[in-house]
Every structure is written in C-alpha cells, then in structure tokens.
Amino acid sequence: MMSGNYTSIDNQNVSGSVPAAVPDPGHLTVKFEDSNLQTFPPSEAHGKIASGARPPRDADDTFSKPVSGSDESQQSGWLRVFSVSSYKSYFDVDTSDVLERIKDSLLPFSGTFNEKTSNSPDLYGPFWICTTLIFVAAAIGTFVTYVAHKIKSKDWEYDINVVQWSAGLFYGYVTIVPLVLYVILKYFSAPSGLVQLFCLYGYSLFVFIPALCLSIVPIEIFRWVVAGVAGVMSATFVAVNLRAHIVSAGERWFLIVAGIFLLQLALSVVLKLYLFTITV
C-alpha cells in the first residue's frame, strides 16, 4: 500500500534537532538550523531581569545615591552647617535613649553620661527639655501669681513677658555657654565636642522641670531649698562629667570646673529670683 516515494534519511545532511524529510531527487531539500530556544533562559539576556532572576541593577540607586544636582551632593565643607540633612543624625534617637539620659542627669555623681553619649550625642532631648521648661515656667508662674492675687483679692493681669524671658534664658543659656566653653577647652587643648557639650548642658536642665512644679507650694523657704537642690544637682552633673576631659588642660583644670559649677548655680539663683519669687 505504501509507495516508493520515500527514501531513507541521510543523517549527515540533517543539522537541526527535528528530522528532515528527504523528498525525491529533484525536489528542494528543507533544512532546520539550530536555535538557541533549546536552552532557557537564553545565555544573553536583555532587559532589567538578568539570569538567576536577579533584581534590576539600578533598583535602589534612587535611594542609595544622591541625585546629581541635589543639595546633598553639592554641599560640602562648612556649607553643611546650613543644611538640614546634616543635623538628622542628632535627632535620630529612641524614647528609651532619651529616658535613659534623663535618668543619668538625675544621678549627677555617676559621671558616666559623657561616656554613654560620646559616640551618639543628640540634640532632640536638649531641644524638648528647653522647650518644656519655657512652657512649664510660664504656666506655673502664671498660675502661682494668679492664686496669690486671688487670695489677697487683688486684680490680676497676665504677663506675656514670662514666655519671652524664659525662652531667651533657656535657649540662650544652652547655646551660648557650651559655645564659650568649647572655645576655652580648645584653647587649652582639652578634648571636647561641640554637639556633646550641647547635649550635656541640655540634659542638665531637666532637673529644673520638677523644681518649677514644686514651686507651687507657697512657702518661701521651701522654694529656696528646691531651687538650691536643683542647682547643685545640675551643677554637679555638668562638672563631674566634664572633669575627666578638663584634667588634660593642665593645672588650671580646677578653675575651669569651679567656673562651670558656679555658673550653673547662678542659673538656679536667677530662676529663683525671677520665677520662684511671687510678689503681689
């Protein structure tokens, strides 16, 4: 039943993977060339997905590298002082870190605050401590004077200058004093960091927050005791933590530490005379 039109396959003439039918002599022979589709994926992959299903090579370049022409890539040297991004690391702290540093400020004789913050000083805690002090001082001072005037049946007027005076005092103190101390320590070749000084002085003011709250008690002697204890704790905290750094300044290290201690005590006296004293 089968005709003799089919001949045997010549294996030497077949180059593809699919057998080719060889027609009768005189007909055109069709050959299949090798294809790279036999291997998957192709050896030369194009596009963003390469062999091994790897992610795009430039997937994270937008986040890992500054864009050309951006402020971060252009600002360098002292110009970084005016860049907000250069201060991000000083505000990158957790609540537990801030609470731990506040606890250390209330234990002034431990002297471990500078060691714990030497590699990661922050400005977040000092900023909010000063800001809280401003509003607590204004609120407590206003409340105490209001109650004192009402007890004596006298007219009372709100004094807006309390907020302005408190802001100038606390922000100015925690900024100017560390700057001056930094210059002095540099002059005596004592190791110190400016941000670390800001951090130390900022946390040293925390003790005045509960002291201001206790000033509600209408007993003058009690207010003097509260202001004195807060001042001694704050001054001791700063002096003890800076003593180890200032000793390298030579024989005058004691005078520097004594000056730091007395200046912090002077702050508590100013607070007592202006905020803890109620006159009707």
Radius of gyration of the chain (CA): 38
Looking at residue 25, what is its pLDDT? 55
Looking at residue 81, what is its pLDDT? 58
Going by C-alpha positions, the residue among 137, 135, 155 that lies closest to residue 268 is 137
Looking at residue 254, what is its pLDDT? 82
Amino acid identity of residue 126, one-letter, is P
pTM metric for this prediction: 0.67
Looking at residue 53, what is its pLDDT? 42
pLDDT tens for the chain, residues 1 to 280: 445 555 555 555 545 555 555 555 555 555 555 554 444 444 444 444 344 444 443 333 333 334 344 444 445 555 565 566 666 777 888 899 899 999 999 998 888 898 888 888 899 999 999 999 999 988 888 888 887 777 777 777 777 788 888 899 999 999 999 999 999 888 887 777 889 999 999 999 999 999 988 888 878 899 899 999 999 999 999 999 988 778 766 677 888 888 999 999 999 998 888 776 666 5
CA torsion through residues 213, 209, 109, 225, sign: negative
Tokens of 93: 């702290």
Q: Do the beta carbons of residue 203 and residue 102 sit within 8 Å?
A: yes
Looking at residue 49, what is its pLDDT? 39
Q: Do the beta carbons of residue 201 and residue 180 sit within 8 Å?
A: no
Looking at residue 265, what is its pLDDT? 92
